[in-house]
Structure 1
């Protein structure tokens, strides 16, 4: 009887994973910035066979200033005031470019949130 419950749990897990993938397939393209945008952006680069140094060079090729590397160089916070910066990043090999404001939706204390906090002494959490 225990094997039957494991099978159901696996099916539920696969269903939830499939729903999450579908939601991401819809949400991420709609959250991407237009090619004419500039300013502070979050850039996603290809994940296989490309190192952090190569992606740093891609940001520089788009005439941007790299701010911080995330997830082993697969994501970069970059900035440029040049018009069309997002289009230049995509031409340099970026998969997608997003507003860094999308990171503010992460709860305080999440692993990813900690990795994008500015360096310095700990700051108290704001009151609820």
Structure 2
């Protein structure tokens, strides 16, 4: 299995925003959507503000592949359902990284709906 380099983890993990382009059914990349990304250990996670009903999330789940751009990194990725046991760590990472934006923005990202849409980004 391919892994992130430390340079990738730092670049993406420290970036405020990530452009995510899940693959369409026809194999082309969708138009990029700007979202938040967090790092937990050597793994990267994203969530949909709209939970499992979010358009980019539904496409990512359907095709399992896409492209991300953040922090000088431009990579093909696979989307994997995150281990539910990591929810608290991912919630903490969102609160720590994005807390400066206030509860009106961070609260929805750590809600049950958003947590249900947590995907792990895997290079490749």
TM-score bracket, shorter-length normalisation: 0.3 to 0.5
More helix by share: 1
Using the size of structure 2 for normalisation, the TM-score is 0.33
Using the size of structure 1 for normalisation, the TM-score is 0.32
More strand by share: 2
